[in-house]
Amino acid sequence: MNLETTTFGGGCFWCLEAVFRRLTGVNSVSSGYAGGHTPNPTYKEVCTGETGHAEVIQIEYDSSIISFQDLLSVFWQAHDPTTLNRQGNDIGTQYRSVIMPHNEKQNEIAIESISQWSQKFKDKIVTSIEPFTQFHPAEDYHQEYYEHNTGAAYCTLLIRPKIDILKQKKVLPS
């Protein structure tokens, strides 16, 4: 195994976690917070928008099976990178579209990816690339949220349709 780690934010971490957990080559996905100034933030604190943190997922993947470019391809299709600090009804800096590379190679690939994917969107990509500093895991009830709450309204109305669309587009395996 050639394990690497990266961190993405694209709205609610429940949605991104559910998507990336389905990819072959992804070893683990954890929901959490990063990019802010508050040490050891809680969900309640992050929801205020005052911590500077974004809801993010941290992905551990085997780069001999799935590349960072492939992860970015899924990232661009799993959320709207053209809306500033917003995904659907989730509004605030904590829902920003962000890539937090863990090394210089990932940073270079992320910059190139924004340039390539910009041509595929009608509106300008507003995704930021921010230096990764520290990941703060979210509370236990946020981890694997979709798998534990498939019948919850948020899951049936937002996450399941997103997964189904990505499967239809062949972004996710069936």
- Which residues form the catalytic set? 12
- The residue among 24, 27, 49, 52 whose CA lies nearest residue 39 is 52
Contact (CB, 8 A) for 93 and 86: no
Query: Do the Cβ atoms of 10 and 75 come closer than 8 Å?
Result: yes
> Residue 29: which H helix or E strand, with range?
strand 26-34
Buried b (16+ CB within 10 A) or exposed e, 62-76: eeeebebebbbebbb
What whole-number distance in Å separates Cα of residue 101 and Cα of residue 110?
A: 8
